[in-house]
Structure 1
Amino acid sequence: MGRYKRNGFALAAQEEEITGSTDHQKRLARPSLDSQSQSELQTPEVVIETGTLRRSITLFGAVAILIANIGGTGIFITPTMILRFSGSPGLSILIWMLGGIVQAAYAFCTVEIALMFNKAGGPYFFIYSSFGDIAGFVYMWGFVIFIVGPSWALGSYTASLYTLSVFFTDCQPSDFLVKLVALWLMITLMAINSTYMKVTTSIQSFLTSCKMIALVIIIVSGLILVPSETGQENLSSFMDGSTTNIGNIALGLFAGSYGFGGWQVITVLAEEVKDPVRNIPRSLGFVFVLLILVMTATNFAYYVVLSKTEALKSEAVAMLFGQMIHPWIPVIMSVLVSLCAIGTLNVLIMGQPRVLFAAGRNGHMPRIMTMLHRTYNTPWPATWTLGLVASFLLLTGSVMSLVAAISLYFGSSAILLTVSIFVLRWKHPDKHRPFRIPTVIPILVFIVMTTIVTMSIYEKPLTLVSNLITILLGVPIYLVFFKCKAVRKRLHFMDRIGYFLERSFLLQYET
C-alpha cells in the first residue's frame, strides 16, 4: 500500500516520499492553496496507510441491485398518484411506459460518462468534471439534504411499517415503535454494508427475488380475472376520464419516470463493478426492458381487479388489490413488500455513501470521507455520517417536509447531466469512450426533462421555488467554508479527527 501526506480539505492530494518512520514524523499536514497559506496552516504530519475500493459486483449482482433499487417500492404505492394526474387507468399505464422509456434513455446517456471516467460518485462526479467545483458541491449539497437523508429515513420507515403490519393485522403499530424498528433496521444494514460487500450482494439477491415474486403474484392474479365480469367491466371504462390538462400530464409523466428512478446507484458503484464496460450497459439494458414490461403488466393487473374509484381509496394499492383477490394475499404481500423495502434500503446504504466518498476526493467534503476500512475496503466514515443525518430525520419526523423536493432535484440533475455529455465531448474530444450514445437521445431527454420540470414548477411554484433556493444556498456555503482562507485554517481539527479514526477503527485513506 502507498504512503503519502493527506490534507484535510485539499482539493487534490499532494503526494511525496516520506523518509524515516519515527513518531515525530507521523503527523498530518494541513491543506495548502499557495505558499502563504501553507505557512499559515502549519500542523503536525502523519504517514497514512492507503487502500482502494474493491471490485466485487458481478453482472448478476448488478442486475439484482438494479431490480431492487429501480422504483424501489414505488410500484406498490405510486400508481394511485399517477392515476390522480392521468384521470384514467389506460392513460396511467401509457404514462408508466413513457416514464420507463425516458428513464432508460437518460440512464444510457449517463453510462457514456460513467464508463468514460469509471470512478465512484456517479452523477456528482460527472457534474463536477463537467462544470467545476461550485456545481459539484451544490449537487452534493442538494443530494445530502433532499435525497440521502429523506430516502434512508423513508426507506427504513417503510420497511419497518410493512414488517410490523405482518404482526399488527387488526390495528396500526404506534409511530414510536415503527421508528424504533426502522432505526434498528437502518443500523443493521449499515453494519452489514460496512463489512463484506459479497455478503451484502448475496443478501440483495434474495431481497430482490421477493420484489419479483410479489409482482408475479399481482400480474398472474390480474390476468386470471380478465375474463371475469369485474375484469370486463373495468376494461370497458379503461380510458374514461382521461385528462387533457398538459400540466397534469407532465406531473404524471414525472411521477412515472420517477417510478423507474434509482438506476443511478450502478454509476455510483461503477468503481466496484467487475468488467464495468461490459456489465453496466448489459445490466441496465436487461433490467429496463424487464421492468418496463413487468411494471406495465402490474398496472394493467391492478386496474383489471380495481375500478378507478376503488384504486383511489388507498395509497397502498397492492394491499387493496390483495384484499379483492383472497384473504391470505394481503398477508403474503405484507411479507414480500416488507422484504422488498428492506432490499431497497440496503441498496441505498450500499451506494449513496460513495457520493460522499467521491466528494471527499475532490475537496467538497472533509478528506476523512475518503477513508476505507483496512480489512473490508468499505467507506465507513461516509456511511455512518449519512446514517447520522438519516437517523436525525427519521426520529424528528421531519422527513415528509423534504419529499416534495425530490422531484425537482432529480429533474434538475437530469438536465445538467444531459448537458454535461456535450460539455465533456467539447472539453475532452479525444478521451476514450467505451460507450457512446447517439447525439439525438440526450437532446430528446433534455427537451423532455426541461418541459417536465418547467410544468412542475408552474403547478407548484411556492414549494418548488423554496426548495430551489435551498439547493442554491450551497453556493455561499462553498465560498465561505472551502474558499475562505480565514475559515479554512480554523478547520485543522478535521485532521486530528482523521488521525483518531485511523488509529481507533483501523481506517486508512484511499490510494
Structure 2
Amino acid sequence: MGSRETSSLTETGKIHLKRELGLISAVSMIAGTMIGSGIFMSPQWVLYHMGSPGASLLIWAACGLLAMLGALSYAELGTVIRESGGEYIYILRNVGSLPAFLLAYTSVIVVRPASIAGITLSFAEYVVAAFFPDCSSPQVIIKCSAAACILVLGIINCLNVKLSMSIMNFFTAAKLVVLLVIVVGGIVLLAKGNTQVLQNAFENTATGFGPVGVAFYQGLWSYDGWNNLNYMTEELKNPEVNLPRAVMIAIPLVTCIYLLVNVSYFAAMTPQELLASDAVAISWGLKVLGTWTWIISLGVALSTFGSANGTFFSGGRVCYVAAREGHLPDALSMAHVNRLTPSPALIFTSAISLIMIIPGDFSSIVNFFSFTAWLFYGITISGLIYIKIKKPDIPRPYKVPIIIPVIVLIASVFLVLAPIIGSPQLEYLYVVLFILSGIIIYIPVVRYKWSPGWFHSITLHLQLLLQVAPTDKNN
C-alpha cells in the first residue's frame, strides 16, 4: 500500500479503493464489456423475431441509439453523484432506500450472476466446440468450462485492479481485430456483388408489440455494459471529464461495428442459413475464411472472456457499495488491506454465478436479465428527471437536455411491458414476485436493523480469514 492508503488505514481504521482507471481503461471497460457474446449469438434471434434483414438492422441501430441516450443520461448522474454503484446508488440518493434495496437484492442475487453465467456459458460453448467438431458438445463439459472461467476471473479481480484492467485492455483490442476481420470480409463480399439479401430487405417483416420488444431484448443484450463505468466512479480518474468522454467514444464505435458486422453476416448467408446456425460467427467463418475459421473461434472466446471480466468487475462493485450503505452484510463492504480490492463481494458474486450455471440456458437468461434490468433503468432515469426538474441548481459538470432521459424512460416502459403484453408468460410474474419478496427481508434487517449476535462473530472471523477491513468512500 502507498503512504496515502497506510495513513488512511491507521487514522480512521478504514481504507478505500484506488483511482486507477484513466480514459483508455474507461473506454476499454465500456466497449470491452459491451462486445461480448451478443454480437456472435444474438443476430439470429433478432432476425427470428423481426423476420427480415432490414428490420433486424433497424433494431440494431435503435438499440445502439438507446444505449447512447441511456449512457449520456447516466453520465450526468455520475457527475452529480460521484459514488460507485450505478443504478443502486442513484436510486438510493434520488428515489429512496426501499427501491434501492430491492435493486441490490435482485441484482446481487440474480441479475449480475445470471449475466456472468450467460456470458461464461457462451465462452464455454465456443471453446469446447473446437474439441467436438463432428458432434454437439457435452453439456457437462460446457458447464465445467464456464465454472473454470468464473473461478479464474474471480481470482484475477481479487488480486489487483490494474491486472484486471490490463487484461480488459488486451481482450478489447483482440476482439476489435476479430470484428474488423468480419467487417472487411463483408466489404469484400459486397464489392463482389453479394447484395441479394439486402435487396427486398424488409420482406416478411414482423410487426407487433411483442416481437419488437423481444427483438430489442436480444439486441440490447449485445449492448449491455453501456452503463458499466458508473459502477466504479470512485475508481475513475477525473470522473466529471472522463465519464462522459468515454461514453461518447465507446458507444458510437461499438454501434458502427455491430451494424457493419451484421451487414457482413447478411452478405455471406441467406436469412434461412443464418436462422439455422447455432453460432453465426463460425458459420460466417466457414463460408468466407474456410480453414482460417479458427481465427473467429479464438476471437469469440477472447471476446466473451473479456466481457465476462468487465461484468464481473462491475457486479462486484454493486455488491460492495450496497453492503457499505447497510443494505447487505458488512463483510461484503470490506476491501483487502494490501490489494485494495473488494474481495469479499467478488467472492460472493463468484459463488452465486457458479450456482446460476447449473440450470443455465442462454436465451432465457437474456430475457430474464433484460426485463429486470430495464425495470430498474427506468426507475433510475425517473430519478434523473426528478432532480433536473426539482433541483436545477445542483452543480453539474456535465448535463443532457431533459428530452434525452424522457426518451429513455419511455423506452424502458415499453421494454418492460412489451413482452408481458405481446407474449405473456408466468416467468415474468415470478420475476416480479421475487423482486417484491425483498420487502420481507428489508423490513426487519434494514428498517429495524435486526442483527443476531452470531452474525457479528462471523464477520470478524471472515475479516481475519480474508484479510479485509472496512472502507471509506473516495473523495
Supply the distance in 1 between the matched residues of 2:45 and 2:204 (Cα, whole angstroms).
15
Contact 1:99 1:254 in 2 (8 A): no
Contact 2:115 2:369 in 1 (8 A): no
Q: Could you tell me which residue of structure 2 aligns to residue 380 of structure 1?
A: 343
- Counterpart mapping for 1:284-323 below 5 A: 284-323=247-286
Supply the distance in 1 between the matched residues of 2:219 and 2:61 (Cα, whole angstroms).
8
Asked whether 1:92 is paired with 2:56, we answer: yes
Match of 2:304 among 337, 341, 347: 341
1:71 CA displacement:
4.5
Contact 2:120 2:305 in 1 (8 A): yes
Supply the distance in 1 between the matched residues of 2:462 and 2:356 (Cα, whole angstroms).
25
CA offsets, 1:167-212, max 9 Å, x none?
Answer: 3333334222222222222111111111111111111111112211
Q: Could you tell me which residue of structure 1 aligns to residue 464 of structure 2?
A: 503
Q: Could you tell me which residue of structure 1 aligns to residue 85 of structure 2?
A: 121
Contact 1:372 1:507 in 2 (8 A): yes
The residue identity in structure 2 corresponding to 1:495 is: H
- Counterpart mapping for 1:65-84 below 5 A: 65-84=29-48
The residue identity in structure 2 corresponding to 1:191 is: I
Summarize the Cα distance change of 1:147–1:174 in structure 2 as closer, same or farther, 3 Å threshold: same
Q: Could you tell me which residue of structure 2 aligns to residue 420 of structure 1?
A: 383
Asked whether 1:267 is paired with 2:230, we answer: yes
Summarize the Cα distance change of 1:376–1:239 in structure 2 as closer, same or farther, 3 Å threshold: same
**SS class of match (2:13):** strand
Supply the distance in 1 between the matched residues of 2:374 and 2:62 (Cα, whole angstroms).
16
Contact 1:156 1:182 in 2 (8 A): yes
The residue identity in structure 2 corresponding to 1:139 is: L
Q: Could you tell me which residue of structure 1 aligns to residue 4 of structure 2?
A: none
The residue identity in structure 2 corresponding to 1:280 is: L
Summarize the Cα distance change of 1:257–1:162 in structure 2 as closer, same or farther, 3 Å threshold: closer
Match of 1:358 among 321, 341, 347: 321
CA offsets, 1:403-456, max 9 Å, x none?
Answer: 432121122122111110122345644332211111111112212221232222
Could you tell me which runs of 5 or more consecutive residues in structure 1 were left unpaired when the two chains were aligned: 5-16, 18-47
Asked whether 1:493 is paired with 2:454, we answer: yes
1:143 CA displacement:
1.0
**SS class of match (2:470):** strand
CA offsets, 1:249-301, max 9 Å, x none?
Answer: 23323433343121221100111011111111111101111111111111111
- Counterpart mapping for 1:111-510 below 5 A: 111-228=75-192, 231-395=194-358, 397=360, 402-425=365-388, 428-462=391-425, 463-484=427-448, 488-490=450-452, 492-510=453-471
Supply the distance in 1 between the matched residues of 2:371 and 2:8 (Cα, whole angstroms).
42
Supply the distance in 2 between the matched residues of 1:170 and 1:349 (Cα, whole angstroms).
33
**SS class of match (2:131):** coil
1:245 CA displacement:
2.7
**SS class of match (2:276):** coil
Q: Could you tell me which residue of structure 2 aligns to residue 25 of structure 1?
A: none
The residue identity in structure 2 corresponding to 1:338 is: A
CA offsets, 1:320-368, max 9 Å, x none?
Answer: 1111113224311111100111101111121111101111121110111
Contact 1:72 1:262 in 2 (8 A): no
Summarize the Cα distance change of 1:312–1:265 in structure 2 as closer, same or farther, 3 Å threshold: same
Contact 2:35 2:254 in 1 (8 A): no
CA offsets, 1:363-421, max 9 Å, x none?
Answer: 11011111111111100110101111111222455887654321211221221111101
Supply the distance in 1 between the matched residues of 2:363 and 2:458 (Cα, whole angstroms).
33
The residue identity in structure 1 corresponding to 2:141 is: L
- Counterpart mapping for 1:25-40 below 5 A: none
1:223 CA displacement:
1.1
Bigger Cα Rg: 1
Between the two proteins, the alignment pairs up a number of residues equal to 465
1:235 CA displacement:
2.5
Summarize the Cα distance change of 1:143–1:93 in structure 2 as closer, same or farther, 3 Å threshold: same
The residue identity in structure 2 corresponding to 1:501 is: L
Q: Could you tell me which residue of structure 1 aligns to residue 74 of structure 2?
A: 110
Summarize the Cα distance change of 1:410–1:481 in structure 2 as closer, same or farther, 3 Å threshold: same
Supply the distance in 2 between the matched residues of 1:317 and 1:448 (Cα, whole angstroms).
28
Could you tell me which runs of 5 or more consecutive residues in structure 2 were left unpaired when the two chains were aligned: 1-6
1:146 CA displacement:
3.3
Q: Could you tell me which residue of structure 2 aligns to residue 31 of structure 1?
A: none
Contact 2:123 2:305 in 1 (8 A): yes
Supply the distance in 2 between the matched residues of 1:397 and 1:446 (Cα, whole angstroms).
30
Supply the distance in 1 between the matched residues of 2:264 and 2:366 (Cα, whole angstroms).
28
Normalising by structure 2, report the TM-score: 0.92
Supply the distance in 2 between the matched residues of 1:253 and 1:148 (Cα, whole angstroms).
19
- Counterpart mapping for 1:50-65 below 5 A: 50-65=14-29
Contact 2:226 2:251 in 1 (8 A): no
Summarize the Cα distance change of 1:255–1:184 in structure 2 as closer, same or farther, 3 Å threshold: closer
1:112 CA displacement:
0.9
